[in-house]
Every structure is written in C-alpha cells, then in structure tokens.
A = this chain, B = another copy of it.
Amino acid sequence: MPNVVDDIVAEVAALCRENRDGAVADYIPELASVPADEFALCIATTDGYVYESGSARTEFTIQSISKPFTYGLALADNGPAAVAAKVDVEPSGEPFNEISLDPVTERPRNPMINAGAITSAALIHGADVAERFERIRRCYSRYAGRELTMNDAVYHSEAKTGHRNRAIGHMLRSFGIVTGNPDDAVDLYFRQCSIDVTCRDLALMAATMANNGINPVTHERALATEQIERVLSVMTTCGMYDAAGDWVARVGLPAKSGVGGGVLAVLPGQIGIAVYSPRLDAHGNSVRGVQACSELSKRLELHFMHVTRAARSAIRSQYTIAEAPSRQRRTDTERTTLSQFGNRARIYELHGDLLFAGAETAVREITDHGDDLDAVVIDIRRIDDVSAVANRMIADMQAALNDRGCRTALVDPDGMLGRTTSSVLIDDPDGRVFVDIDAAAQWCEDVVLDRYCFVDRQPKRVDLARHPLLATLTSEQFERFALEIERRTFTRGEVVVRRGEQASGIHFLLEGQISSTLTDAQGRTRRVATLSPGMSFGEMAQLVAEPYLYDVRADSAVQLAVLPAERFADLTASAPGLKLALLERLAAGAYAQMDSAIRSIALRSGGF
C-alpha cells in the first residue's frame, strides 16, 4: 500500500506539472527533440528504497550532472592535492561555459563549470581515451547500481558542435592545466556527458553519495568517504551554475543540475533526490527540478541548516549505586556501608549519537562530579554511533579521573569504543569494560566496599550450621533438617540448574559464587543475580513445584547443600513446623530480592 511519502511525492509532482515555464536546451538537435513536459521525481533512501513518480524509467543524457562524479574519480586517481593544483573550488559567479580562468590562480574556478570539468576528465587515469572512458562509465555504474551506457547520437552531435568546449580545452592546454592532447580531454568530457541515465538512476547515485559513497542496493563502494565529503562541499557552493547561493538559501542541499533536464540533490546520511524535467531556466537549471527540490526541502524539512533543536548532553540519566544496587546479595554490614557511601559511585547512561557536542557536555558534567566519586561507570549501551573525537574524549576523561583516584568502567557489550570486555572476576588495571550494567554496578559496590567496609564482608565459605537462612530454626529443627541434606560440588562454568527444568530442591550455597542468568530478546545472556556463600536459591520454584525461571551457573568452584525436592515435599507430613519455618525465612529473602529488582528496574531508564 502507498505510504505517506508517496502522497507527498504525488502532491509535489502535481504542483510542478502545472509549471510550464522555461525552454528545452536546443544547442544540439538531440537535446531539443525531447518531450518538453516530461516529468519524473524520485527519492532514494540510504537503505535502497526508491519512491518513484512520473516517467522515472525514461532515459536522458546525464550532461553536467556527470561533473561531480568525474571530479570524485579524479580525486581518487590523483589525490586531493594534485587535483587542487589543477582546479579551484570557488563559486565563479559566471556562466558555466565561460572561456576563462581565475585571473589570479590561472586555474578553472571550480570543477562544476565546463573548464573545471574538462580538467577533471583530463586527470582520469588510463592508457587511452577508450580505457579512460570505460573507467568513468564503470564508476558511474557503481553509483547507479546498474550498467550505464553511452548515447551515441547525443555524443556524436555534441562532438560535432562543441566548439566552445574545444576552445576551453585549448585554453586549458595553453595555461598548462591540461598537459596531454586537449581534444582527447574534451572528447572524454563529451562522452561522459552522453551517458544515459533515468531519474531513478540519478536518485540512487545521489543516495550513494548520501550513504558515504556506498551504493545502498549493491553495497559496492563507488568513492571513499573523505572524497565524497569534498565532492558534496563543491556541489554546495558551485553545483547549481550561478544560482548556487539562491539554491543553498532555498533548498539547502548539495546538488548538481544538467542541461538534459536532470537535477540531483543529496541530504548526507539520509536520502538522494532526483528530478527530470527538460525545460530550463536562465541559469540552465531545470525549472521544475528547482521547484520540486525546493518544495520537498520545505515539506520534508531537509534544509541542511535546519536544526530542530540544539545539541543536548549525551547523558540520558544518572544514578548512584545507593539508589540502584546491583543484584549481588550483600551482608548486613556491606549493605549499611553501601547505603552510607554508595553515592560515591555513579552510573551515567549515555544515549544518541556520540559526536563532539554531545560528548563535550557529558564529559564536562562527569568531570565536574569527579572529585566526589570513587567510581564512575559510563553505560554506552544506548549509544548508536561514536565519532573518533568523542571516543578520545571518553578515554582522556577516564585517564584524568583515574589520576585523581576515581576508578572508571564502561558498559559496552557491543565493543562500540573498541576496547576489550572484562570478566567481573578479573581485575583489569586499564579501566574495565563490562557487558551488562549489573556487573558494572557490582564492581562499583566492590570498589566502595574495599574503601569503606573492613568488617563482616561476605565470607568465603560458611558451614551449614552457620548458614544465615537456617538461623531461625530450633536446634531440633536443624538436626532434623541436616538429615535430609545432600552435598553437591560444581566446577567453574558448570550448569547447576537450567531454565525449564522441574524444581529439584532448595540449594544452600556454602562456598564459591553462582549466577542466575536469562537469555534476552537479542540472544544475549543477562545476569539476574549473583549469590555468595550464605545465600540460597530454588526455594520459590520448589514451593510451587514449577520449572526454573533461570539458568544457574557456577562462577567459581562451588559447594552446595541441597534439600531435594521429594524430601522437601515429604516435610509437609513429617515435619510441618520445620517446613513452615523454612518457608517463611526463604520467602522473606525472595521477597526482598523482588523489591530490590523492582527498585533498580524502576530507576534505570526504560525499565518498565
């Protein structure tokens, strides 16, 4: 079904079709013979979708729209310095076919006037005109995503009548700008101008430019990114003949027009636009082409100086580990320390594209807080793209914070900043990189605890009799309980229980560390909780005789005391008092965990 963009394209097309101003180029019969009121409008996206209106598949010769593409190939063949020595990039304020050079530099003013375009053609590498033309044709074809061909009739007609361009060629030769045979350069230029394209081709060529030089359909590279930037810059100031200033003010897109009636415009990073309508205005630009681009720019808000809002900080939200604790269970003393000193570890969630301005604001804010912090975590999971300067800014800030005693870590599961992720268990002196926020929050807590908590830290092991979850049992109840227990050991990485398995008992952790995890929508493993000696799991599943909700794995060598499922069930009849006592204590722990999970989910952005 047609969507709203089709509607907008149709509206603009209808508006433009009413306009009968201008006249078809008539300096050669082949151009004068085209139907004057033909009209096509295409928009190509950087994912390769093309909106078409009118005669989008009608072929016409590319003419001057070829100039930026040959200029780009000349840059690729010779490098920007060698090209700059032959052709300037200044708007000329003069007609495109002027037989003159800049009086000061003695070079063509820019590559978009004929003198500059013939110079570009002369710079294309190749053994002879045929090979050089074939390289040009293949280059244009990469932009279009299909094999383009030359229109012989138009070429021969241009070659027969192009005295003015021959004059320019010889002028260029006389000033030493063109060093070979000037007729060859002019011939090559005539050939490139005679390549047939459709409006759809031009839109895809523009989209290839918008897409940093990569064709969005074939994914073939047509030109390197730096060269695309230079070509677009020259199109901005010189692309619309001597109406470039008005074009920038009204339309605000780098563009190029041709006397064949085509106009091509580029919104970098976003879309390519092409219009075909042969009637030209006094500048040599397609009347409806200018009108259609101007209307689209207004309606779709494409003007490159149009900014919907000022840059904002890249910081989406921030919180301390006192506000949003990790899922690592802690001893009472540890919890007290964390509630007192947890505001000395702060987590910053960044978002959006991390370019200079957004990174600057974020770095400034984090640096300003730095003196009051022992640990900073920078969570870049919501960052879509990072510029090189922003990456350097983050790294430099981390180094500066570290110098002042504030440790830093990143949450960067996709390696956006190009650094290696670290295990939560291994200390990495050059700044940590975590794959999830919870591991980073736990690391923050450990930093704070190492600095402020010296007693009653999580024990390395507990005896069953000292297991805190059994503390409320009477000694008779404990003795009865101990009879039912099985001991189990696991090595690091081993699976203790799996999501979906039927509950197999209540597990009391005596030694080592285990984590429960879940696989998310993206197929990534996410930690739900990490347990240390003195903690337990499996009680809820057991109570309700349901399958496990999580995978549980040993993070280290682990020793467990397990009350197996069937023995737990039997307690209802054989020792109901013991069972109720166990249940109340275990449920209270599960309840506290739920509360903590709810608090941290509510606090972290987008948790609900």
Contact = CB atoms under 8 A, between A and B. Distances in A.
Interface string A363-397: 11001001100000000011011111100110011
Nearest to A603: B521
Interface residues of A, number: 129
Contacts of A387: 301, 308
Contact of A233 (B252, B313, B381, B520): B252
Q: Give the one of A89, A356, A601 with max B CB within 10 A.
A: A356
Contacts of A67: none
Interface in A390-411: 392-393, 396-397, 400, 404
A455 interface: no
Interface in A273-313: 299-313
Contacts of A49: 361, 364
Nearest to A518: B602
Interface in A202-236: 210-212, 216, 228-230, 232-234, 236
Contacts of A302: 356
Given A244-B90, A245-B237, A520 B305 contact: no
A387 to B, nearest CB: 5
Nearest to A586: B544
Given A356-B271, A588-B546, A607-B607, A388 B301 contact: yes
A580 B576 CA distance: 9
Contacts of A313: 47
Interface string A317-351: 10100010000000000000000000000000001
B245 A234 contact: yes
A248 interface: yes
Given A229-B306, A310-B211, A356-B270, A245 B1 contact: no
A14 interface: no
Contacts of A527: 608
A548 to B, nearest CB: 10
A356 B301 CA distance: 7
Given A1-B370, A5-B363, A580 B584 contact: no
Contacts of A576: 576, 580
A210 B305 CA distance: 9
Interface string A555-591: 0000000000000000010001001100110011001
Nearest to A437: B608
B352 A267 contact: no
Tell me how many chains of this kind the complex includes. 2
A442 to B, nearest CB: 13
B549 A595 contact: yes
Contacts of A541: 591
A7 interface: yes
Contacts of A319: 521
Contacts of A234: 245, 248-249
A584 B579 CA distance: 12
Contact of A45 (B357, B367, B583): B357
A594 interface: yes
Interface string A233-276: 11011100011111011001010000000000001111100000
Q: Give the one of A302, A308, A353 with max B CB within 10 A.
A: A308
Contacts of A243: 90
A237 B91 contact: yes
Nearest to A436: B608
A35 B265 CA distance: 46
A109 interface: yes
Nearest to A210: B310
A249 B271 contact: no
Nearest to A353: B308
B361 A47 contact: yes
A598 interface: yes
A242 to B, nearest CB: 6
Given A304-B304, A583-B583, 4 more contacts: A210-B310, A228-B305, A301-B388, A549-B598
20 contacts: A3-B393, A4-B393, A7-B396, A45-B361, A46-B311, A89-B245, A90-B93, A90-B242, A210-B310, A212-B307, A232-B305, A268-B305, A308-B355, A309-B385, A317-B521, A323-B521, A526-B608, A549-B591, A576-B576, A580-B580
Interface of A: 1, 3-5, 7-8, 45-47, 49, 88-94, 109-110, 210-212, 216, 228-230, 232-234, 236-238, 242-246, 248-249, 252, 254, 267-271, 299-313, 317, 319, 323, 351-353, 355-357, 360-361, 363-364, 367, 370-371, 381-382, 384-389, 392-393, 396-397, 400, 404, 436-438, 518-521, 526-528, 540-541, 543-546, 549, 572, 576, 579-580, 583-584, 587-588, 591-592, 594-595, 598, 601-608
